[in-house]
Amino acid sequence: MRIVAARALGEIGAAAPSAVKALIQGLDDYDVKVRSETVKALGSADAVAKSAVPFLAKVRNTDENPEVRHAAAEAIETISSSTTASPFWPWVLATLLTVSVI
């Protein structure tokens, strides 16, 4: 169940930054599969997960499982190289919503 939750939170991570906070808690799970899915989910959240980088660095340096450490390193790279969405798009959407159609 916790593995499925980690995957689901990863899928909504970009849309809900609060999901990142929940995923950070999963990095300390006793189950290696949960830690692995949590790391992958954080990596897929891209720039939204920047606050998780220090926690991922700890996992990269201390996790007992080499695959989890490697996945954490990849997640850090993905997050660090991603950029946040342009502030232009919220303006475009707001403008489109206020334009009346004749």
- pLDDT of 89 higher than 80: no
Q: How many CB atoms lie within 10 A of CB 65?
A: 14
Nearest-angstrom CA–CA distance, 89 and 39: 29
Per-residue pLDDT tens digits for 54-87: 999 999 999 999 999 999 999 999 988 876 544 4
pTM over cut 0.85 = no
Instruction: Please give the mean pLDDT across all residues of the chain.
Output: 78
Single-letter residue type at 57: A
